[in-house]
Amino acid sequence: MTGVAILGAGDIANVHIEAYKKLSGRCRIAALADIFLQKAQEKKEKYGLDCDVVEDYKELVDREDIDLVSVCLPPSDHCQAVTAFLKAGKHVLCEKPMAPSLEECDQMLAAAAESGALLSVVAQNRFKPDIMRTKKFLESGALGELYFAQANSLWWRGDNYYDLWWRGTWAKEGGGCTFIHAVHHIDLFLWLMGDLKEVSAMVSNQNHHNSEVEDVSISTLRFENGAVGLMVASLLHHGEEQKIIIDGEKGSIEIPHKISVNRQMPNGYPEDDEEARTGFEEAFQAMEDLSYREHCGQIENMLSAIEQGGKPLITGEDGRKTVEFISAVYQSAFTGTRVALPMDRKDLFYTREGILSKAVKFHEKKKSVENYADMGIKVGGTL
């Protein structure tokens, strides 16, 4: 039985608790920690947990009954907490984004390598059936050479969203829509398309006046496999319509799921190739379904890795790649340069200090509240 601690009792902790409860035959929540002790106590009571509640997570580092830690803290606190538990030999599932800087990501990876404990970064969208099938479909080579990919990470948030004390500042949150929201799509983009070669970007804050950080970003990309791409992240889109499009030699595939195949007429214009599309669709639908999905799917995968001595599907290295993408976007946007990957210590935006020295504060944060009522998360999009 894997003993679990959850650090942070905000909205996202609900999802972790519900997943662990669904897998209760294999794990037990032993402790909840939050600097607002009452929030953690309320979570315990809400879910009927038989666990300890503490204010300081450091009290849990050496607990022998804790094997796995879900880190649901603000991104600026990830590195310190994750490295402390990894060095103590505890496995860690860290909420995304992994950390506000590549330097911190590398410190977390070094702690995992030194201790031998597992580190996984949350990317729950991989554990959706059609997304997992899309990955396997691309791996089969069905589309042939990949030419172009586009991700639309489109959300809507009102001004009040940034009133929460840690949101909307470069120092505490680490970034805006590119860092906090597009992280979902960036992970999928890289997982489906492979590593990036270069990034060119612009960012802006158009309509969030209690926030230092961006609410829209546009990035042009070149992948190592030769494909080019476009990434748009925004908190301005009413309706929150989200999409990933991948165009290849033999057809196109989209998330939410859609497969299209054209063939050319003698004049080069397209006509539908329904026979080829039907064949692709049948192959896609024949792929295996998932027993567990989204956060529950990733937590089950992490438990299996612990139990069987293997690796989780999503590693710390995967989490670093997402932060590297975001760091490249900010470095490009705030220095006016095209950024080549991989990024390392030579890059100004490798460290948090480098980011803070150059990132533009679009507005001054003037309002701050400690906590919102437990209203739950309004999750946008259709991915």
The widest CA-to-CA distance across the chain, in whole angstroms, is 72
Residue 222 CB burial class (10 angstroms; 0-12, 13-18, ≥19): middle
Query: Which amino acid is it at 244?
Result: I
Confirm if 179 and 95 have CB atoms less than 8 A apart: no
DSSP classification of residue 48:
T
Whole-number Å distance between alpha carbons of 130 and 188: 12
Backbone angles phi, psi at 242, to 5 degrees: -120, 145
pLDDT confidence tier of residue 220, bands split at 50, 70 and 90? very high
Give Cα separations from 65 to 30, 31, 111, 166, 274 (angstroms).
7, 10, 21, 31, 57
Helix%, strand%, coil% for the chain, nearest 5? 40, 20, 40
Strands 2-7 and 252-255: unpaired
Instruction: Give CB contacts under 8 A, 24+ apart, made by 113-117.
Output: 114/86, 114/87, 115/86, 115/87, 115/88, 115/89, 116/89, 117/85, 117/86, 117/89, 117/90, 117/91, 117/92
The pLDDT score that the predictor gives to residue 382 is: 61
Backbone angles phi, psi at 153, to 5 degrees: -100, 80
pLDDT confidence tier of residue 375, bands split at 50, 70 and 90? low
Which ranges of the chain does DSSP label H, i.e. alpha helix?
Answer: 11-22, 37-47, 78-87, 102-115, 129-139, 177-180, 183-193, 274-285, 294-308, 316-335, 352-358
Helix (H) or strand (E) run with residue 219 in it? strand 216-223
Whole-number Å distance between alpha carbons of 141 and 220: 24
> Tens digit of pLDDT for each residue in 190-215?
999 999 999 999 999 999 999 999 99
Lowest mean pLDDT among 296-310, 345-359, 363-377: 363-377
Q: Looking at residues 271-297, what average pLDDT do you find? A: 97
pLDDT at residue 379 greater than cutoff 90: no
Q: Looking at residues 332-338, what average pLDDT do you find? A: 98
The pLDDT score that the predictor gives to residue 339 is: 98
Tally helices (H) and strands (E) across the chain.
11, 16
Whole-number Å distance between alpha carbons of 232 and 188: 14
The pLDDT score that the predictor gives to residue 301 is: 98
Contacts (Cβ under 8 Å, ≥6 apart) of 382:
241, 242, 256
Confirm if 330 and 217 have CB atoms less than 8 A apart: no
Whole-number Å distance between alpha carbons of 137 and 118: 28
Residues pairing with 78 in the sheet: none
Query: Which amino acid is it at 319?
Result: G
Q: Looking at residues 82-107, what average pLDDT do you find? A: 97
3-state secondary structure of 302: helix
Helix axes 102-115, 78-87, angle to 10 degrees: 10
pLDDT confidence tier of residue 381, bands split at 50, 70 and 90? low
- Tell me the two tokens of residue 254: 């989209």
3-state secondary structure of 71: strand
pLDDT confidence tier of residue 378, bands split at 50, 70 and 90? low
3-state secondary structure of 27: strand
pLDDT, greater one: 376 or 350? 350
pLDDT at residue 251 greater than cutoff 60: yes
Confirm if 66 and 30 have CB atoms less than 8 A apart: yes
pLDDT at residue 374 greater than cutoff 70: no
Whole-number Å distance between alpha carbons of 215 and 204: 6
Whole-number Å distance between alpha carbons of 114 and 312: 18
- Which residue is it, tokens 């879910």? 47
pLDDT at residue 373 greater than cutoff 80: no
pLDDT at residue 377 greater than cutoff 60: no
Question: CB 113: neighbour CB atoms within 10 A?
Answer: 12
- Tell me the two tokens of residue 98: 């992994």
